[in-house]
């Protein structure tokens, strides 16, 4: 077979065989297939798509391109993956809840790039916390307390790293089979028995509307099922930032507060829904029983104790749970006040994310340094009535940025109108089970 023949087949919408897909992934990963030919094949996929069988084959070939890990924890392992959003600190909440309820959560997470934050960056804002764990230590911690969160190793799914970089440069990102294989190859390579997918929908998400988000969710669930895994997708609202805090240490603090029972309504609802699905996937009971177990893990303090144990085992200072002053503190703060009377009808996720990026909370390139103190804490949210001069939010940074200019631009984040104009959107839109 040749790559020329394979490109021609897919250009004419002919299904590729399992052997052809395996050959392409192996060849591109090794470098024997050049970028320009792989780009042509990816564009053909964008126009002609892939069948379910082709998508599964591509996903498995990518997963097998590097190390395949099977965490020997002695129990049922559940992973949770988010498609990315602004203010999304749910891993820091749901993983301790699931672990407190007897589910093993060996979680490998990534760093943020652009205006969406990464779980690893958030955790590294905790003094002393290490996300670089030898695999043996990672599994030992999971066996001991049911939970560990660490960075992905460089030997996992090398095919995805190469293919994604090429997709990003050739405008072939927005293909559901390619998005699906990218996400699911990493989940399958890390050996989870069950997978819960948090598929974000809206202004701050990759999928801007529910119809496209459902297509992606259903594709990922099908791939998970066909690969022999228990898989569920939860569609959640990202029309506004999740919770009140955006930025690394600020989001950790909000996650701790959530585990103390003080979460904003949207963050509480999404976190409990995801945690309940993790428990349901692990066979802990009915959906209703699993939701109640998740609530109890928070109200009893058991989930907070799991977070404390994880921080301690990964070298961090667990005293931060009781004393937020132990986090690095921002050198500069700026209060933002309402410019007019009215009801807040919208908070732009994308604009919020870009402001947090300019403050230093995100990275514009892989080499950029993160400012762990930078970010935003909102006082008001969508639906709130405000008067001119009411405080809307506080900006934080220790970075060398144009703070005054950023502060002026922040006013564009909010939309105002009448009470009738305020959207009545669900936080949890739909749950798609794959088993």
User: What does the alpha-carbon distance between residue 369 and residue 348 come to, in Å, rounded to a whole number?
Assistant: 25
Q: Measure Cα distances from 157 to 58, 346, 419 in Å.
A: 12, 39, 49
Quote the tokens at residue 202: 């809206």
Residues linked to residue 343 through DSSP beta bridges, in sequence order: 385, 417
User: What does the alpha-carbon distance between residue 258 and residue 272 come to, in Å, rounded to a whole number?
Assistant: 10
User: What does the alpha-carbon distance between residue 351 and residue 131 come to, in Å, rounded to a whole number?
Assistant: 29
For the chain, the straight-line distance linking the first and the last C-alpha, in angstroms and rounded, comes to 37
Quote the tokens at residue 12: 């004419």
User: What does the alpha-carbon distance between residue 71 and residue 157 come to, in Å, rounded to a whole number?
Assistant: 16
Quote the tokens at residue 216: 């992606």
Chain-centroid distance of CA 160 in Å reads 17
Helices and strands in the chain: count of H runs, count of E runs:
16, 13
User: What does the alpha-carbon distance between residue 229 and residue 247 come to, in Å, rounded to a whole number?
Assistant: 33
3-state secondary structure of 123: helix
Quote the tokens at residue 310: 């994880």
Chain-centroid distance of CA 92 in Å reads 11
With residue 375 as reference, give the H or E element that holds it.
strand 375-378
In which residue are the tokens 């898989």 written?
231
- Active-site residue list: 81, 160, 167, 182, 186
User: What does the alpha-carbon distance between residue 193 and residue 70 come to, in Å, rounded to a whole number?
Assistant: 9
């Amino acid at each position: 077979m040749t790559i020329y023949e394979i490109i021609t087949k897919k250009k004419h919408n002919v299904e590729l065989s399992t052997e052809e897909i395996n050959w392409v992934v192996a060849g591109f990963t090794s470098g024997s297939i050049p970028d320009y030919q792989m780009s042509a094949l990816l564009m053909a996929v964008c126009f002609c798509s892939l069948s379910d069988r082709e998508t599964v084959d591509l996903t498995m070939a990518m997963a097998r391109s590097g190390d395949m890990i099977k965490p020997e924890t002695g129990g049922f392992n559940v992973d949770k993956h988010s498609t990315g959003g602004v203010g999304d600190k749910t891993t820091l909440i749901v993983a301790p809840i699931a672990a407190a309820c007897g589910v093993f959560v060996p979680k490998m997470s990534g760093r943020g790039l652009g205006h969406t934050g990464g779980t690893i960056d958030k955790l590294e804002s905790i003094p002393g916390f290490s996300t670089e764990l030898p695999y043996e230590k990672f599994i030992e911690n999971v066996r001991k307390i049911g939970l560990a969160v660490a960075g992905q190793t460089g030997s996992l799914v090398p095919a995805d790293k190469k293919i994604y970089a090429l997709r990003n440069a050739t405008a072939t990102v927005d293909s559901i089979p390619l998005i699906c294989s990218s996400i699911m190859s990493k989940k399958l390579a890390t050996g989870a028995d069950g997978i819960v997918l948090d598929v974000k929908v809206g202004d701050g998400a990759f999928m801007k509307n529910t119809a496209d988000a459902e297509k992606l969710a259903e594709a990922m669930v099908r791939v998970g099922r066909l690969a022999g895994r228990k898989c569920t997708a939860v569609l959640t609202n990202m029309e506004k930032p999740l919770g009140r805090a955006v930025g690394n240490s600020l989001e950790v603090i909000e996650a701790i507060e959530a585990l103390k029972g003080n979460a904003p309504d949207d963050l509480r609802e999404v976190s409990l829904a995801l945690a309940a699905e993790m428990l349901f996937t692990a066979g802990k009971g009915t959906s209703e029983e699993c939701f109640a177990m998740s609530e109890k893990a928070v109200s009893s303090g058991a989930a907070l104790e799991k977070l404390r144990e994880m921080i301690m085992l990964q070298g961090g200072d667990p005293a931060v749970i009781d004393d937020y002053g132990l986090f690095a503190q921002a050198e500069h703060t700026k209060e933002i006040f309402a410019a007019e009377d009215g009801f807040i009808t919208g908070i732009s996720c994308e604009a919020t994310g870009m402001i947090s990026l300019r403050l230093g909370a995100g990275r514009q390139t892989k080499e950029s340094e993160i400012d762990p103190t930078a970010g935003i804490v909102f006082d008001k949210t969508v639906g709130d009535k405000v008067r001119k001069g009411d405080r809307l939010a506080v900006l934080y940074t220790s970075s060398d940025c144009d703070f005054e200019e950023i502060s002026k631009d922040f006013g564009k984040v909010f939309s105002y109108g009448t009470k009738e104009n305020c959207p009545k959107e669900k936080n949890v839109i739909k749950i798609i089970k794959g088993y």
